Structure 1
Amino acid sequence: MKVVIVGAGVAGLTAALRADALGHEVELVVKGRLREGSTVHAQGGIAGAYGPGDSAALHALDTMHAGDGHGDPLAIAALVDGAAEAIDALVRAGVPFDRAADGAIARGLEAAHSLPRIAHAGGDATGRAISDALTARLDSTRVRVREQAFATDLVTADDAVHGIRLHGIRLVGIRLLSGETIDADAVVLATGGAGLLYPVTTNPSGTTGDGIAMVLRAGAPVADLEFVQFHPTVLAGDSPFLISEAVRGAGAVLRDADGRRFVFDDHPDGELAPRDVVARAVARQALAQGSPVLLDATALGAAALASRFPMIDAELRRRGIDWSREPVPVSPAAHYLMGGVVTDVDGRTALPGLWAVGETARTGVHGANRLASNSLLEGAVFGARAADSLTHTSLPYEFVPPGSDRSGTNSYGSTSCGSGERVGAEQHGGMRGFSRQSLQQLMWERVGLLRDDDGLADAVRTLHAWEAPAPRTPAEQEDANLLIVARATASAALARTDSLGAHFRLSPALIGAA
Structure 2
Amino acid sequence: MGVWNREYVDVVVLGSGLAGLSAAVAAAEEGLDVLVVTKEDNPLESNTYLAQGGIVYRGENDSPDLLMRDILEAGAYYNLKEAVRLVAEEGPKMVEEYLIKRADVPFDTTTDGFDFTKEGAHSLRRILHVKDETGKSIQEHFLAYVGSNPHVKFLSGYTAIDLVTNSHNSLDPEERYRRSRVVGVYLLNPEGGVDLVFTGAVVLATGGVGNLFLHTSNPPGATGDGVAMASRAGVPVINAHFIQFHPTVLYHRDFKRMLITEAFRGEGARLMNHSGEYFMERIHPLKDLAPRDEVARAIYREMEREGTEYVFLDARDLSVDVRTRFPYIYQSCLQLGLDISKDPIPVVPAAHYFCGGVKVNLDGRTELPGLYAVGECACTGVHGANRLASVSLLEALTFGIRAGKDIARRHSRPSRRLQRSIPDWVFPPQEEDVDPVLVKSDLKYLRSLMWHYVGIIRTSKRLNRALADINYLQHRVESFYKKAKVRRDIVELRNAVLVARIIAQSAVSQQVSVGCHYVEH
Equivalent position amino acid for 1:483 in 2: V
Is 1:475 matched up with 2:489? yes
Post-superposition offset of 1:294: 1.3
Cα distance, 1:170 vs structure 2: 10
Does residue 226 in structure 1 map to residue 241 in structure 2? yes
Worse-superposed segment, 465-474 or 75-84: 465-474
Task: Select the residue among 115, 118, 121 that pairs with 1:112.
Answer: 121
Contact persistence 1:71–1:366 (CA under 8 A) = yes
Contact 2:14–2:38 at 8 Å: present in 1 too? yes
Task: Pick closer, same or farther for the CA change 1:308–1:170 going to 2, 3 Å.
Answer: closer
1:407 alignment counterpart: none
Structure 2 unaligned residues grouped into runs of 5+: 1-8, 167-178, 413-426
Contact 1:343 1:349 in 2 (8 A): yes
TM-score by length of 1: 0.87
**Matched residue, 2:278:** 261
Letter in 2 for 1:64: L
Contact 2:189 2:195 in 1 (8 A): yes
On the 8 A contact 1:48/1:56 being kept in 2, the answer is: no
> Are 1:369 and 2:379 counterparts?
no
Whether 1:183 and 2:193 are equivalent positions in the alignment is no
| Backbone CA RMSD of aligned residues | 2.2
Cross-structure match for 2:313: 295
Amino acid at match of 1:299: D
SS at match of 1:82: helix
Distance of 1:299 and 1:235 partners within structure 2: 19
> Is the aligned partner of 1:99 residue 2:132?
no
Question: 487-496 or 19-28: which moved more?
Answer: 19-28
Q: CA deviation at 1:78?
A: 1.1
> Using the alignment, how far apart are the partners of 1:380 and 1:2 within structure 2?
21
The amino acid across from 2:386 in the alignment is N
CA distance in 2, matches of 1:389, 1:139: 21
Deviation at 1:390, TM superposition (A): 1.1
SS at match of 2:114: coil
Could you tell me which amino acid in structure 1 is paired with residue 164 of structure 2?
V
Per-residue deviation, 1:49: 2.6
* CA distance in 2: counterparts of 1:94 and 1:170, whole angstroms: 37
State whether structure 2 residue 172 is matched by structure 1 residue 161.
Answer: no
Contact 1:60 1:76 in 2 (8 A): yes
Give the AA of the match of 1:226: H
Distance 1:49 1:10, change over 3 A: same
Could you tell me how far apart the structure 1 residues matched to 2:100 and 2:351 are? 31
- Relative to the length of structure 2, the TM-score reads 0.86
How far the C-alpha of 1:242 sits from its partner, in A, is 1.1
User: How many Å apart are 1:132 and its aligned residue?
Assistant: 0.5
Q: 317, 320, 339: which is aligned to 1:322? A: 339
AA aligned opposite 2:205: A
Q: 2:350 aligns with which of 311, 322, 333?
A: 333
The count of corresponding residues between Structure 1 and Structure 2 is 467
**Match in the other structure for 2:510:** 496
What code does the residue aligned with 2:467 have?
Answer: V
* CA 50–169 in structure 1, closer or farther in 2 if over 3 Å, else same: closer
Identity %: 41
For residues 120 and 100 of structure 1, the distance between their equivalents in structure 2, rounded to whole angstroms, comes to 12
Instruction: Tell me if structure 2 keeps the 8 A contact 1:48–1:80.
Output: no
Paired residue type of 2:122: H
Partner of 1:244: 261
CA–CA distance in 2 between the matches of 1:206 and 1:293? 27
The equivalences for 1:271-286 within 5 A come to: 271-286=288-303
Q: How many angstroms apart in 1 are the aligned matches of 2:387 and 2:220?
A: 22
Letter in structure 2 aligned against 1:17: V
Q: 1:450 aligns with which of 452, 457, 469?
A: 457
Asked if residue 8 in structure 1 is aligned to residue 29 in structure 2, the reply is: no
**SS of 1:346 mapped into structure 2:** coil
Deviation at 1:263, TM superposition (A): 1.5
Distance, in Å, in 2 between the alignment partners of 1:124 and 1:235 is 14
Instruction: Write out aligned runs for 1:49-198 (5 A).
Output: 49-51=58-60, 53-88=61-96, 89-92=98-101, 93-102=103-112, 104-121=113-130, 123-142=131-150, 143-157=152-166, 158-167=179-188, 179-198=194-213
Q: Does the 8 A contact of 2:260 with 2:329 survive in 1?
A: yes
CA spacing shift, 1:243–1:394, aligned 2, 3 Å: closer
Deviations 1:441-494 (A, max 9, x none): 110110000100011001111111113131521101100000000000000000
- 4+ residue runs over 3 A deviation: 168-171
Give the CA deviation at 1:282. Answer: 0.5
Is the partner of 2:401 in helix, strand or coil? helix
1:25 matched to 2:33? The reply is yes
